[in-house]
Structure 1
């Protein structure tokens, strides 16, 4: 039996959902929808994926101002479906089919806040109850070594033993052990966050709804406090990693705290250094050379 690319992509998405991998299934569907809209046909065939068409598709996405990471995500999802189709015998293997399109990670986009804006976001006085609660959640995420929102929503904090929290990251399954300050534990307990069972479709939908609401609230919080940078749940994670680096914490330790499988992933999180910071270091090194 022969399947089109669209039919096979839907089958792959359904299998991912059956395995509890709802986020990846959603990415598959979004990539398929985007490419389907581009070719302006309801059904995509495997033969529609050619090097020339993929390059033109990337050019069209850039023309419509899609950011590099979104373009990369679409391309990587299409490639994953295509490779599965080849393995299943539904498509002919084409050497370096995705070679000419962007499938990397754009590290030029800085998500970390500087120290001043970060302190304002987490510590400034705010009166609105909803935004005050959002600020407490944000402070907790930051205090828990830049914990991701999905982990914060699913961790059982009653498992903290002698001030140490051990948990497995939802995204990678990596085991993490971190020390939790008493102040942070009090805030977390007071928040009484509802948990979502991410193994079910309903639990995943609830989590997505809560994530959207939190990101909306934290954007409103930032605006209310005069912060012009775009802020989301990931801002806190990137900001923690960048602050740790600026306090001379080894990248290996930052990587372990974030639960990354490789230091390369951690380096993507770390904000770049300004020209002034690099210049100050260079002056110090040059003075050392003259003194020798």
Structure 2
């Protein structure tokens, strides 16, 4: 619904349709904060390193692992990166959605993987290019779904699952939210906080004991 509203607004601005006051007034177009897409580290390990024989699934597995290693880069931006995106040991790209520049240090092995996993980029400013991108994304998500099923992973897996999982794992590794936000290319840290899956009671309990020890009588 958010995408539909955005398309409608673009149509209004372009003079292709009439403006209807409060057209989306009774339609929920927000983000459900209770819906978390992150996978557990165990499932991620299985997804990235589980044994499969199909060339198509192996390719999807390699791309998924690479996207994760590139700080959860979204597929729409991944299709535009290549060896020429690397300068002075860092992969540099601009988030299509926010325009935020992201710089990720990479080694020679990662650069080699980027070259091998290169996806034919789409010109998103044209109808044909956008359709091409949507086709690539559907095929990739379908391959990820088959890969997960083949490896016995019950969780839903898509290109965005990888992105959310990287963000949540980074939080569990005590990476500051500000750093996570910058790595994801978010323009607003509030967006990052929506991505992040909360800690469970056990983890909160451990943290609380550490904090309480700081003021205990010695």
Among 34, 38, 41, which residue is 1:108 paired with? 34
The number of aligned residues is: 216
Among 194, 207, 214, which residue is 2:133 paired with? 207
Among 98, 104, 109, which residue is 1:178 paired with? 104
8 Å CA contact 1:154, 1:197 repeated in 2: no
- Consecutive unaligned residues of structure 1, counting only runs of 5 or more, are 1-69
CA deviation after TM superposition for structure 1 residue 97, in Å: 7.9
- The TM-score normalised by the length of structure 1 is 0.66
8 Å CA contact 2:148, 2:157 repeated in 1: yes
CA deviation after TM superposition for structure 1 residue 78, in Å: 9.0
- Consecutive unaligned residues of structure 2, counting only runs of 5 or more, are none
Q: Distance in 1 between matches of 2:186 and 2:168?
A: 15
CA deviation after TM superposition for structure 1 residue 167, in Å: 1.5
The higher-RCO structure (CA 8 Å, 6+ apart) is 2
- Alignment correspondent of 1:247: 173
1:9-48 → structure 2 map (5 Å cutoff): none
C-alpha RMSD of matched pairs (Å): 2.7
Larger radius of gyration: 1
The alignment partner of 2:102 has SS state of strand
CA separation of 1:289/1:182 partners in 2, compared to 1, >3 Å: closer, same or farther? same
8 Å CA contact 1:219, 1:232 repeated in 2: yes
Q: Distance in 1 between matches of 2:21 and 2:121?
A: 44
The alignment partner of 1:166 has SS state of strand
Q: Distance in 2 between matches of 1:97 and 1:232?
A: 28
- The TM-score normalised by the length of structure 2 is 0.87
Among 27, 41, 48, which residue is 1:122 paired with? 48
Q: Distance in 2 between matches of 1:154 and 1:92?
A: 37
The alignment partner of 1:154 has SS state of coil
8 Å CA contact 2:178, 2:189 repeated in 1: yes
Among 184, 208, 211, which residue is 1:285 paired with? 211
- Alignment correspondent of 2:124: 198
CA deviation after TM superposition for structure 1 residue 262, in Å: 0.7
- Alignment correspondent of 2:90: 164
Q: Distance in 2 between matches of 1:179 and 1:263?
A: 22
Q: Per-residue CA shift, 1:66-87, capped at 9, x if unaligned?
A: xxxx5x655x5598489x59x9
- Alignment correspondent of 2:190: 264
8 Å CA contact 2:37, 2:161 repeated in 1: yes
CA separation of 1:284/1:133 partners in 2, compared to 1, >3 Å: closer, same or farther? same
1:138-153 → structure 2 map (5 Å cutoff): 138-153=64-79
Give the ranges of 4+ consecutive aligned residues of structure 1 lying more than 6 Å apart after TM superposition: none
CA separation of 1:155/1:191 partners in 2, compared to 1, >3 Å: closer, same or farther? closer
Q: Per-residue CA shift, 1:237-287, capped at 9, x if unaligned?
A: 111111111111111111111110010011111111112212222333344
CA separation of 1:78/1:258 partners in 2, compared to 1, >3 Å: closer, same or farther? closer
